[in-house]
Each structure stands twice: as C-alpha cells, then as structure tokens.
C-alpha cells in the first residue's frame, strides 16, 4: 500500500506542496523517525523523503468511522487520544520496533501555531533510549508559511525536507537521556521566518491574513482578548490597530512593535505571565468569553452531545460552559480541577477532568480557542513559554 501511494499519489504531493526533499538513505533496518510538524500530510512527506516504510503515531480521530476503518486497515496507524496518557502508545511503539517495524512520530503532538517548533516532552527521549532502535531526525521547512495552522487559504511556495541525523543504537546507548533530548530538540527546531529569509522564499496567495485571529488572540495595543479581526490581507482591532500580512509571512503595521506572528505570540505569553496576578483577580466577569459552541461530553468513553449553541467563558479561577437556549445547568470547573487541555484544529478545544471525563468543544464562529488553553496554563502556574 505504501509503495502504491508513493508511485500514484507521491507525484501529486510533490506538486501540491512544492516539496523538495534532500536525497538521503537511512542505514538502519529498523528505526524511530521523529519530525517537526507543519502540515496535516507531513507523514506522507516524511515517507517520500526517507523512502522507507514507516508506521505512524496518529490522532485517534483518524481511526473513527468508515474512513478511519480503511485508514487503520491499510496504514496500520498507532492511534493516540489527544490529552490521554501515552503509556499504551509507548508500549505499542516499542513492540513495533522490536518486531522490526519502523515508527514515525511527531513529538510536538501539534502543528506549530506561530512558525516555531513547539514544545517537545522529555518522555520522547526516554522512549528512544529504552527502545533499543536507531533514531532518525527529519526536519521539514517551509511548510508553516505554505499554509499556517490558522490560515483560511493555502499559499504557493516551496517546502523542503532533510534527514538531519541518524543515531545508531550504539551511539544512543552511549548518550544520556538529556543528551538525546537536546540532540532531538536541536535537530527539529525550525524558525520559519529565518528559513524564509535564508532562501528568499515567496508565499503568494489570496486572503493571506484570514484566520490569524485564531493564533493572535491578544491585541498588542489595547491588551484585550479576542478583539483581533482579519479580512483579506488586513488585520485590525476596534482600538484602531491596523496591519497587513504579506507574501513573505511578515506583518506590517505602524502600531506593531514586531513583524512576525512568532514575536506576537511571544508578546502574548510574556504579557500574560507578567499580568497573571491581575488576571486571577478577575472572578466577577470573564477574562474571555465566546458563544455558539458545539459541546460533547465523554464520560467513561461514552460520548454525549450536550448542546450545539453553548457559551464558553474563562475567569481568573474557573471555566464555565453555559447553555442559554438549552435549559441545562451551567457547568463550572475550578481551573485546578482541569487536568489537561489542548486544541485540535483552529476552532476546537478539549479539556479533561481526571482520567475518565472529557469535554470537547467546537466553535461555529471564527474565534480563538487557543486563548483558553493559554490562559488555563498561565492561571494554574503551568510553564507556557
């Protein structure tokens, strides 16, 4: 099946992503391949770049429904539920490697929001050490600016892939866990804007700024959450902020102290950290609130739709889901009761309360759900850099 896809679908992917992988050859018979995450079809691009059969760790949603059944049957994904403990997945990875099946993994767990490689857990380095297999680090560049995670449209521009290092089992055995972790982080780190400047790449398209409000949730001028709006190539806020997004991935605006979304995101994180005490004191009115959410509750693995028109609000001490048109009681959780939170696509957010209760919310409107994750981390003293 993989060979068929390489021959039949591969040429189409080269054209679709303007993909230019650097020729390489992996020496090891069995290996764990780790890659930074920029596009939904990164697994296919990694296979094209390495020219080897790889079984991938993927989001559990790919295994659901009739289409999911076909994916599981033909590609044998190792499925993982976002936010769930990774013990079972780790065991499956190790079992595949010991059986001689190479495994592909995106240790960030998410596509980058701002063009920089996301946080990588040290647990990955521990698994690498314990697996006894070779480690391959493969880096993708250009993918973020080709279609940012938040973007409404795809651009036309180049994407590249290269094998950075191949570490043999003997080399890994001689390295400490911290050394493996550092090597992996160094090899996979990408600054999309430095790469663009290095190669002089141009990413032309239409409506280049649309969707940026998903990632740019805090206005740098008035410091309000959820007030950024986008249309075409334009970015604005009701406070008077006006800027444009260009084909080089840069943001031009007289009132902005930066010109990339990476710097904007850094500003958001630093501002929230510096104002955390003030944010925690806001308990009578929400810090951020949005309406028109589809809400699903999953208890003991059983899904239940609660509403298709709920309101999500976060305060300095709690998270609330209210149902203006449903007649249900408002669901309230202390922020410290929430054991895990994250994002699926641009408009979806989930949070866990213990190991058996989970809520999944999807916004019908173009609002940022990333801000709820960011605020939850800051307000509960979790590292968010």
| pLDDT tens track for 213-265 | 999 999 999 999 999 999 999 999 999 999 999 999 999 998 899 999 999 99
Question: Of 168, 63, 83, nearest to 355 (Cα)?
Answer: 83
Say whether both 170 and 219 belong to one domain: no
User: Sorting pLDDT into bands at 50, 70 and 90, what band is 268?
Assistant: very high
Summarize pLDDT for 62-77 with one digit per residue, the tens: 556 666 666 666 667 7
Residue 184 and residue 135 share a domain: yes
What's the rounded Cα separation, in Å, for the pair 356 and 337?
13
Give dist(CA 46, CA 17) in Å, integer: 13
Mean pLDDT of 124-143: 94
262 with 160, same domain: the answer is no
Q: Judge contact between 28 and 50, C-beta under 8 A.
A: no
Same domain, 262 and 154: no
Tokens of 130: 């314990």
User: What pLDDT, on the 0 to 100 scale, is given for residue 64?
Assistant: 62
pTM (predicted TM-score): 0.89
What is the model's pLDDT at position 255? 86
Q: Output the pLDDT for position 67.
A: 65
**C-alpha–C-alpha distance, residues 104 and 375, integer Å:** 32
Regarding whether 26 and 142 lie in a shared domain, the answer is yes
Q: Is residue 134 part of a domain?
A: yes
Give a yes or no: residue 358 inside a domain: yes
121 and 59 housed in the same domain:
yes
Q: What is the pLDDT of residue 384?
A: 79
Answer whether residue 251 is part of any domain.
yes
In terms of domains, do 243 and 375 share one? Answer: no
Structure tokens at 9: 């679908």
Are residues 93 and 234 located together in one domain of the fold?
no
Domain boundary pick from 199, 220, 244 = 199
Indicate whether 43 and 180 sit together in one domain: yes
Domain boundary among 274, 295, 320: 274
Could you list the residue range(s) of the whole structural domain that residue 229 is in?
A: 212-274
What's the structural domain count of the chain?
A: 3
Whether 140 and 256 map to the same domain: the answer is no
Quick one: pLDDT at residue 68?
62
On whether residue 226 sits in a domain, the answer given is yes
The pLDDT, as a whole number, for residue 283 is 97
Confidence of residue 6 (pLDDT cuts 50, 70, 90): confident
Residue 103's Cβ-side half-sphere holds a number of Cα atoms within 13 Å equal to 28
One domain for residues 267 and 348: no
- Classify residue 236: in a domain, yes or no: yes
Over residues 120-130, the pLDDT tens digits come to: 989 999 999 99
Full strand arrangement of the beta sheet holding 229-231: 229-231, 234-236, 242-245, 251-252
Residue 130 lies in a domain: yes
CATH code assigned at 311 = 2.30.29.30
Residues recorded for the chain: 385
Note whether 27 and 156 are same-domain residues: yes
Kind of pairing between the strands at 78-80 and 242-245:
unpaired
Does residue 385 form part of some domain?
no
In this prediction, residue 61 carries a pLDDT of: 62
362 within some domain: yes
Q: Which of 57, 17, 56 is nearest to 161 (CA)?
A: 17
Which of 274, 309, 328 finishes a domain? 274
């Amino acid at each position: 099946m993989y060979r068929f896809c390489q021959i039949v679908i591969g040429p189409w992917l080269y054209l679709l992503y303007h993909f230019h992988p650097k020729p390489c050859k992996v020496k090891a018979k069995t290996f764990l391949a780790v890659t930074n995450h920029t596009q939904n079809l990164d697994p296919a691009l990694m296979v094209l770049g390495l020219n080897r059969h790889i079984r991938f760790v993927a989001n559990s949603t790919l295994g659901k429904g009739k289409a999911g059944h076909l994916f599981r049957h033909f590609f044998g994904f190792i499925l993982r539920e976002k936010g769930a403990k990774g013990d079972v997945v780790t065991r499956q990875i190790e079992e595949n490697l010991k059986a001689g099946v190479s495994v592909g993994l995106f240790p960030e767990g998410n596509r980058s929001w701002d063009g920089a490689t996301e946080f990588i857990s040290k647990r990955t380095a521990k698994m690498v050490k314990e697996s006894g297999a070779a480690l391959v680090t493969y880096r993708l560049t250009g993918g973020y600016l080709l279609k940012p995670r938040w973007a409404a449209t795809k651009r036309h521009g180049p994407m590249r892939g290269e094998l950075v290092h191949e570490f043999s089992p003997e080399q890994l055995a001689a390295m400490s866990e911290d050394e493996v972790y550092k090597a992996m982080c160094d090899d996979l780190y990408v600054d999309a804007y430095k790469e663009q400047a290095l190669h002089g790449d141009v990413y032309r398209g239409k409506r280049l700024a649309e969707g940026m409000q998903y990632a740019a949730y805090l206005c740098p001028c008035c410091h309000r959450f959820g007030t950024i709006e986008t249309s075409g190539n334009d970015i604005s806020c009701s406070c008077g902020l006006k800027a444009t997004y260009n084909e080089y991935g840069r943001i031009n605006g007289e009132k902005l102290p930066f010109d990339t979304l990476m710097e904007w995101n850094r500003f958001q994180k630093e501002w929230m950290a510096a104002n955390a005490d003030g944010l925690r004191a806001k308990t009578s009115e929400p810090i951020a609130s949005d309406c028109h959410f589809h809400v699903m509750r999953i208890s003991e693995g059983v899904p239940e739709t609660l509403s298709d028109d709920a309101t999500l609000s976060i305060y300095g001490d709690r998270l609330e889901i209210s149902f203006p048109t449903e007649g249900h009681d408002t669901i309230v959780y202390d922020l410290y009761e929430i054991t895990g939170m994250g994002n699926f696509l641009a408009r979806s957010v989930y949070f866990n309360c213990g190991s058996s209760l989970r809520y999944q919310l999807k916004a019908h409107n173009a609002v940022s759900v990333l801000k709820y994750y960011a605020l939850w981390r800051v307000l509960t003293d979790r590292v968010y850099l």
